[in-house]
């Protein structure tokens, strides 16, 4: 361990100790308040003497809710978990605190290591620290998905228990009540809620409320089928089996397919996000290794080209990491986004910003406006048109300002390179010795005297520089021969030309404007990407529709409008056209279904709509969808094959984006510079050897 690293480690330990001591002092001071003493007197004799993790997690949750940075993640996490836990405040806080505690145990040591390893390169350090924010989100989402998957697997056992209880009681509500007595599982709280809905005075209204907070669509289906069975009674199928239990079996089969799909997606994407972000950690290591082993690469890696390569790889890593996260969608219906009052809404509420943004939003009714509205719907985005254009303008502004900052930094780096780089001719392999490097730095310091003097004098000529060098104490007064003096003048003049030419040029501003245009289009491209990903799941969603219709078509008093309402409830990709059909249904059933058929292009869904049209006026629903029952096994196998295709496609695209930054790192940042610069250096060496001969 180097002395500098040991010094930073000791400073970090002392800093951590100071934070702990300050926290202890503040807590002790708070414990002396009158209210705290009163609460302590109430719980005196009731608390355990040993350390209790549940109490720790409750206190940790409160502290996380107060810290500004952690508060955002705490509330975001809470919004997802409280749906699963259904008003169980204690459990919700415990689970949130557990996940936050585990995430911080990973992030804090990682941050310390990153700072210690990259303290010499602020660009890479700031980039990695920025990426840690995304790592936190990835870790949190992974843990929450684990809770969601755990609930889904509990539902399999729960539905099996419901079957046995229903055989015993032959009453839906009694079977649900009996199985819901296990308080140890998350599914028990959902079961209790469904039981309360069924026995309430207005179960239909309460059921609609539950649809908005149910953690997954399978519990929605179970609650809806249970309500219909209790309301209209159970009946025997043509083979003598209970229709309720048969529908329960259909939901179970759907869940089994979903669990398999999620497990396979988790397996495929379990490390792709980390692989996509890894190249940033190796940028500095590859640079130092190349400079140490091949001195001729020093000018590239310490110059502007190497800097631009670093920035390009960082941007590519950021884009690939974001796209891999978008691809990694395991099907969880819960979202952590709160779109009720986002920052875009607050910004748009200010009149100057509103006027400026409205200049870019297409007018209502125009082709461009309708195109953007359709894209928002097809990508299932929660953004409004105004928020989308705020995102576009902010992204464009950040890209333009960021491009100018990078250009200024690159020019500054090029100037610093001339002032700090040892002046010497390097060998093809190896590096300079300490003596050689010291002599080279002495030459650089002598050259810097003239560079600093004429850096901002753009009227200086080579003759003026030659006169100044010849009369200087550094090189003049007969210290060098005429040939050596000419070589020195030529070298310093070349350096001066480079230093004076390093400023932001007009074509670089044009490049920044082009990057700004790309940034302006990036949010739209992201929506298009999300739309393409959703199109992969079209067949899967239509097969879910077939299962829902299969469950409903044999229940008495079920009509086409009720089927459409159920499809709307569980739709995702086709939610917009189905909702429009439901709203227009009262004005004319056939016409509403015909309009729905014209708005969609997926053939399997068109066949379902045509069957619904037949059931409106011509034949009963059972006969309209009779083939669904007879071809159930075929549809199940087709559903499995569809899931396999979707996973295979996502896996292929995910590997391209996941390994893309690593390929760029080795090809663009390592192999190409070594080959190109090596060939140029060898050519120059051969030319110099031939000239000597």
Cα–Cα distance, 508 to 500 (Å, whole number)? 16
Cα–Cα distance, 527 to 525 (Å, whole number)? 5
Q: How far is CA 475 from the centre of its chain?
A: 59
- pLDDT of 599 reads 80
**What are the pLDDT digits (tens) for 365-394?**
888 888 888 888 777 777 888 899 999 999
- pLDDT of 192 reads 87
Is 477 a domain residue? yes
- pLDDT of 395 reads 93
If we measure between CA atoms, which residue out of 152, 203, 153 comes closest to residue 173?
203
Cα–Cα distance, 552 to 564 (Å, whole number)? 11
- pLDDT of 334 reads 41
**Domain boundary at 525, 551, 567, which?**
525
* DSSP summary character for residue 294: B
- pLDDT of 433 reads 67
Q: What is the mean pLDDT of residues 608-613?
A: 86
Is 216 a domain residue? no
Question: What DSSP string runs through 201-253?
Answer: S-HHHHHHHHHHH-SSHHHHHHHHHHHHHHHH---B-TTS-BHHHHHHHHHHH
Is 496 a domain residue? yes
Is 346 a domain residue? yes
Q: What is the mean pLDDT of residues 158-175?
A: 88
Q: What is the mean pLDDT of residues 549-553?
A: 84
Strand partners, 236: 242
- pLDDT of 691 reads 63
Q: What is the share, in percent, of the chain residues with pLDDT greater than 90?
A: 4
Query: Quick one: residue 220, left, alpha or beta (phi over 0 = left, psi -120 to 50 = alpha)?
Result: alpha
**Domain boundary at 503, 525, 547, which?**
525
If we measure between CA atoms, which residue out of 453, 427, 456 comes closest to residue 440?
427
- pLDDT of 15 reads 65
- Asked whether the beta carbons of 216 and 254 are under 8 A apart, the reply is no
Cα–Cα distance, 82 to 93 (Å, whole number)? 9
Question: What DSSP string runs through 349-408?
Answer: TSHHHHHHHHTTSPPTTSHHHHHHHHHHHHTT----HHHHHHHHHHHHHHHHHHHHHHHH
Is 495 a domain residue? yes
Question: What DSSP string runs through 145-193?
Answer: HHHHHHHHHHHHHHHHHHHHHHHHH--HHHHHHHHTT-TTSHHHHHHHH
- pLDDT of 336 reads 39
**What are the pLDDT digits (tens) for 412-465?**
888 888 887 777 655 444 556 677 777 878 888 888 888 888 888 888 888 888
- pLDDT of 39 reads 47
- Using 50, 70 and 90 to split pLDDT, how confident is the model at 516? very high
**What are the pLDDT digits (tens) for 290-302?**
887 877 788 788 8
If we measure between CA atoms, which residue out of 80, 121, 126, 70 comes closest to residue 100?
70
Cα–Cα distance, 186 to 194 (Å, whole number)? 13
- pLDDT of 333 reads 37
- Give Cβ neighbours of residue 247 (< 8 Å, ≥ 6 apart): 225, 551
- Using 50, 70 and 90 to split pLDDT, how confident is the model at 18? low
Cα–Cα distance, 215 to 152 (Å, whole number)? 9
**Residue 481 main-chain phi, psi, to 5 deg:** -75, 170
Virtual torsion, Cα 349, 351, 355, 356, nearest 10 deg: -80
What angle separates helix 122-169 from helix 68-85, to the nearest 10 degrees?
20
If we measure between CA atoms, which residue out of 161, 156, 213 comes closest to residue 182?
161
Is 19 a domain residue? yes
- 24: domain range? 1-30
- pLDDT of 634 reads 76
- pLDDT of 1 reads 46
Q: How far is CA 195 from the centre of its chain?
A: 38
Is 677 a domain residue? no
If we measure between CA atoms, which residue out of 116, 190, 119 comes closest to residue 151?
190
Is 565 a domain residue? no
Q: How far is CA 276 from the centre of its chain?
A: 12
**Domain boundary at 493, 525, 557, which?**
525
Virtual torsion, Cα 437, 441, 444, 446, nearest 10 deg: -130
- Using 50, 70 and 90 to split pLDDT, how confident is the model at 340? low
Tokens of 580: 């429009």
- Asked whether the beta carbons of 646 and 537 are under 8 A apart, the reply is yes
**What are the pLDDT digits (tens) for 116-140?**
777 766 767 777 777 777 777 777 7
Q: How far is CA 58 from the centre of its chain?
A: 29
- Asked whether the beta carbons of 318 and 325 are under 8 A apart, the reply is no
With residue 304 as reference, give the H or E element that holds it.
helix 304-327
For the chain, how many structural domains are there in total? 2
Tokens of 691: 């000239």
- pLDDT of 392 reads 92
- Give Cβ neighbours of residue 163 (< 8 Å, ≥ 6 apart): 245, 248
Task: Flag whether pLDDT at 604 surpasses 90.
Answer: no
Angle at 168 between CA 166 and CA 171, to 5 degrees: 45
For 617, half-sphere exposure in the C-beta direction (CA atoms, 13 angstrom radius) is 7
Cα–Cα distance, 146 to 93 (Å, whole number)? 17
Q: Name the percent of the chain in helix, strand, coil, to the closest 5.
A: 80, 0, 20
Task: Flag whether pLDDT at 332 surpasses 50.
Answer: no
- pLDDT of 399 reads 92
Q: What is the mean pLDDT of residues 302-326?
A: 85
Of the ranges 74-78, 322-326, 532-536, 582-586, the best mean pLDDT one: 582-586
- pLDDT of 394 reads 92
- pLDDT of 478 reads 67
- pTM of whole model > 0.95? no
Tokens of 454: 């004429």
User: Taking all residues of the chain, what is their mean pLDDT, rounded to a whole number?
Assistant: 80
Q: What is the mean pLDDT of residues 468-485?
A: 75
Q: What is the mean pLDDT of residues 140-155?
A: 83
Q: What is the mean pLDDT of residues 525-530?
A: 87
Task: Flag whether pLDDT at 513 surpasses 90.
Answer: yes
- pLDDT of 33 reads 56
- pLDDT of 102 reads 83
**What are the pLDDT digits (tens) for 483-512?**
878 888 888 888 888 888 888 888 888 999
């Amino acid at each position: 361990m180097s002395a500098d690293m040991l010094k930073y480690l000791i400073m970090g330990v002392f800093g951590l100790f100071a934070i702990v001591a300050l926290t202890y002092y503040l807590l002790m001071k708070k414990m002396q308040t009158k209210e705290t003493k009163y609460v302590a007197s109430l719980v005196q004799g009731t608390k355990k003497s040993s350390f209790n993790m549940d109490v720790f997690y409750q206190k940790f949750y409160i502290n996380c809710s107060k810290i500004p940075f952690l508060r955002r993640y705490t509330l975001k996490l809470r919004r997802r978990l409280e749906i699963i836990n259904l008003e169980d405040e204690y459990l919700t806080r415990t689970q949130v605190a557990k996940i936050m505690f585990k995430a911080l145990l990973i992030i804090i040591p990682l941050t310390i290591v990153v700072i210690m390893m990259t303290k010499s390169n602020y660009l890479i350090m700031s980039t990695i620290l920025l990426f840690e924010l995304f790592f936190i989100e990835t870790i949190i989402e992974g843990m929450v998905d684990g809770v969601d998957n755990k609930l889904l697997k509990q539902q399999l056992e729960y539905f099996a228990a419901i079957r046995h209880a229903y055989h015993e009681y032959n009453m839906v509500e009694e079977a649900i009540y009996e199985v819901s007595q296990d308080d140890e599982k998350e599914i028990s709280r959902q079961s209790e809620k469904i039981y309360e809905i069924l026995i309430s005075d207005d179960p239909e209204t309460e059921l609609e409320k539950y649809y908005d907070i149910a953690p997954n669509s399978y519990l929605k289906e179970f609650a809806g089928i249970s309500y219909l069975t209790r309301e209209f009674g159970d009946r025997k199928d043509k083979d003598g089996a209970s229709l309720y239990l048969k529908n329960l079996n259909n939901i179970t089969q759907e869940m089994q397919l979903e669990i398999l799909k999620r497990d396979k997606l988790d397996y495929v994407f379990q490390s792709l996000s980390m692989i996509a972000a890894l190249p940033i950690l190796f940028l500095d290591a590859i640079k130092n290794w190349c400079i140490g082993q091949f001195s001729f690469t020093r000018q590239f890696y310490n110059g502007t080209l190497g800097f631009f390569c670093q920035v390009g790889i960082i941007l590519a890593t950021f884009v690939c990491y974001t796209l891999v996260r978008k691809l990694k969608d395991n099907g969880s219906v819960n979202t952590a986004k709160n779109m009720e009052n986002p920052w875009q809404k607050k910004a748009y509420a200010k009149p100057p910003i509103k006027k400026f943004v409205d200049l870019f939003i297409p007018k209502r009714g125009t082709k461009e406006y309708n195109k953007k509205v359709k894209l928002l719907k097809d990508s299932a985005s929660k953004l409004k048109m105004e928020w989308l254009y705020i995102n576009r303008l902010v992204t464009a502004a950040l890209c333009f300002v960021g491009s100018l900052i990078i250009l200024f930094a690159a020019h500054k780096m090029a100037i610093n390179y001339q002032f700090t780089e040892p002046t010497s001719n390097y060998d093809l392999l190896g590096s300079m010795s300490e003596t050689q490097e010291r002599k080279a730095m002495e030459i650089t310091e002598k050259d810097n005297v003239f560079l600093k003097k004429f850096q901002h004098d753009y009227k200086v000529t080579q003759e003026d520089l030659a006169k100044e060098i010849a009369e200087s104490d550094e090189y003049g007064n007969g210290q060098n021969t005429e040939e050596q003096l000419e070589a020195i003048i030529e070298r310093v003049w070349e350096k001066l030309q480079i230093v004076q030419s390093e400023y932001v040029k007009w074509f670089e501003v044009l490049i920044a404007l082009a990057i700004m245009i790309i940034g302006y289009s990036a949010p739209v491209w992201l929506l298009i990407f999300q739309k393409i990903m959703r199109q992969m799941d079209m067949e899967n969603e239509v097969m879910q529709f077939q299962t829902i219709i299969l469950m409903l078509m044999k229940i008495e008093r079920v009509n086409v409008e009720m089927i459409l309402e159920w499809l709307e409830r569980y739709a995702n990709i086709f939610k917009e056209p189905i909702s429009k059909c439901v709203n227009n249904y009262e004005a004319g059933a056939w016409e509403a279904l015909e309009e729905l058929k014209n708005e969609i292009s997926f053939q399997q869904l068109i066949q379902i709509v045509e069957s619904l049209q037949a059931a409106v006026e011509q034949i009963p629903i059972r006969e309209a969808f009779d083939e669904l029952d007879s071809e159930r096994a075929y549809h199940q196998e087709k559903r499995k094959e569809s899931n396999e295709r979707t996973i295979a496609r996502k896996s292929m695209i995910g590997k391209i984006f996941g390994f893309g930054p690593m390929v760029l790192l080795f090809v663009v940042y390592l192999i190409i510079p070594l080959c190109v610069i090596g060939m140029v250096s060898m050519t120059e060496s051969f030319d110099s050897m031939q000239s000597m001969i």
